[in-house]
Amino acid sequence: MIILGIETSCDETAAAIVEESGDRQRPWRLRSSVVASQMALHREWGGIVPELSARQHIRDICPVVRGALAQADVVDVDAIAVTQGPGLVGSLLVGLSFAKSLAWARGVPLVPVHHLAGHIESLTLENGEMALPAVVLVVSGGHTSLYRVDVPGRYELLGRTRDDAAGEAYDKVAKLLGLGYPGGPIIDRRAANGDDRAIPFPKTRITHADRNAPEVPGTRDFSFSGLKTSVLRHVMLRRAALGIGEQEPLPDREIDDICASFQRVVVETLVDRLFDAARWYGARSVGIAGGVSANSRLRAESRTRGAARDIPVFVPSIVLSTDNAAMIAAAGLRNFRGGVTATWDLSAKASLMLT
């Protein structure tokens, strides 16, 4: 079976072709993946502008899909998978409307996919089936969540961020330091030259349930707003001590130390929660997916921790870490084989939950 995946949840317009391999351990084969990034468009604004994002998706969707079909040397597909949510509703509607129209015109099934399920299934697309039960950390600019997977295609939410996602915290700290957008790759590079113990930024401890979501156990939740505030206070104190204005940058050495110290706390928090959950739930493997999984320190520390605990660690390649349609196609195959298809009244859901 060959499936076309379409992803437009945020600021990447993506299409991909994935086919079933017939191998139960490595069930899918990637035939093509095309991504049109809007990073340059949004960089001058310091973040994603939803209206601009939706308009650019309209411009890019046709050539991106044509490119994926041509790259795979495919004319006909057996199904079309598309991101239903969560994401920016205007962006989601572009991909969803295109996928519905194409599926109807071709007479093939339409398969709805949750964006975070796509990130989780990118691990299987890249590495083959994980040993179950598994615990997976999905960490990106919009999401920081822990899931338990005990049956393929079934995801149990264990914890999530109560405020900023980890990637969002990276972007805000980078903006505070005058480093530009997106912040994750920039801070990762600058951190390599800094002292990660130079500044004792605090870790957030969560010991109570979230009153805004009492139905979700809170002990494995994340919070990064306090860390972000600590960085802000440190920068303000250093500027006052050096006698420089708000628009003037700190010395390069201090910026490197701030980046390294900030990144250490974020990565230690993520890895601690992931492996604590793995121990608690008796996981046979762990995974990290989403844009922040491209972070060099996160990859290194998770693999070191996994080796020390004799538990395999799955991460996607860099190209499958950020938003892409290959992961949507893979999750679409998982859904389709589980009997999940959509009717023509399928609608975008900006706050779609994965539970």
Confidence bin at 277 (pLDDT 50/70/90) = very high
Distance CA 342, CA 355 (A): 19
So what's the pLDDT on residue 39?
82
Span 130-159, pLDDT tens digits: 999 999 999 998 899 999 999 999 999 999
DSSP structure string for 106-155: HT--EEEEEHHHHHHHHHHHHH-PPPSSEEEEEESSS-EEEEEEEETTEE
Span 64-121, pLDDT tens digits: 999 999 999 999 999 999 999 999 999 999 999 999 999 999 999 999 999 999 999 9
CA angle 289, 84, 270 (to 5 degrees): 20
Of the ranges 28-32, 40-44, 196-200, which one carries the lowest mean pLDDT score? 40-44
So what's the pLDDT on residue 144?
96
Confidence bin at 236 (pLDDT 50/70/90) = very high
- Cβ neighbors of 209 (< 8 A, separation 6 or more) are 216, 217, 218
So what's the pLDDT on residue 210?
56
So what's the pLDDT on residue 214?
53
Decide if pLDDT at 218 tops 60: no
Among 348, 336, 334, residue whose Cα is nearest residue 154: 334
Instruction: Kindly report the backbone phi and psi dihedral angles of residue 295, in degrees, each rounded to the nearest multiple of 5, phi listed first.
Output: -60, 130
Decide if pLDDT at 205 tops 80: no
Residue type (1 letter), 176: L
Q: First and final CA of the chain: distance in angstroms? A: 27
Decide if pLDDT at 45 tops 90: no
3-state secondary structure of 179: coil
Confidence bin at 38 (pLDDT 50/70/90) = confident
So what's the pLDDT on residue 76?
94
Distance CA 178, CA 58 (A): 32
Decide if pLDDT at 212 tops 70: no
Question: Edge-to-edge strands of the sheet including 285-289?
Answer: 154-160, 144-151, 134-139, 285-289, 313-314
Query: Which residue has better confidence, 43 or 347?
Result: 347
So what's the pLDDT on residue 46?
81
What would the mean pLDDT of 261-284 be, rounded to a whole number?
A: 96
3-state secondary structure of 244: coil
Displacement of CA 183 from its chain's centroid (Å): 14
Helix H, strand E, coil C: the string for 258-276 is HHHHHHHHHHHHHHHHHHH
What would the mean pLDDT of 187-192 be, rounded to a whole number?
A: 97
So what's the pLDDT on residue 211?
53
C-alpha radius of gyration, the chain, whole number: 21
Among 201, 182, 202, residue whose Cα is nearest residue 259: 201
What is the value of pTM for the model shown? 0.92
CB of 136 closer than 8 Å to CB of 312: no
What would the mean pLDDT of 327-353 be, rounded to a whole number?
A: 96
Displacement of CA 190 from its chain's centroid (Å): 22
So what's the pLDDT on residue 44?
79
Domains of the chain and any CATH numbers = 2-122+321-337 (3.30.420.40), 131-311 (3.30.420.40)
Instruction: Kindly report the backbone phi and psi dihedral angles of residue 197, in degrees, each rounded to the nearest multiple of 5, phi listed first.
Output: -110, 10
Decide if pLDDT at 267 tops 80: yes
* Average pLDDT value for the chain: 94
Distances, alpha carbon 106 to alpha carbons 32, 148, 338, in Å: 20, 36, 22
So what's the pLDDT on residue 203?
87
Percent above pLDDT 90 for the chain: 88
Decide if pLDDT at 282 tops 80: yes
Distance CA 62, CA 58 (A): 8
What would the mean pLDDT of 317-322 be, rounded to a whole number?
A: 94
3-state secondary structure of 254: helix
Q: Which tokens is 7 given?
A: 């992803």
Q: Dihedral sign, CA of 105, 110, 116, 117? A: negative
What would the mean pLDDT of 344-353 be, rounded to a whole number?
A: 95
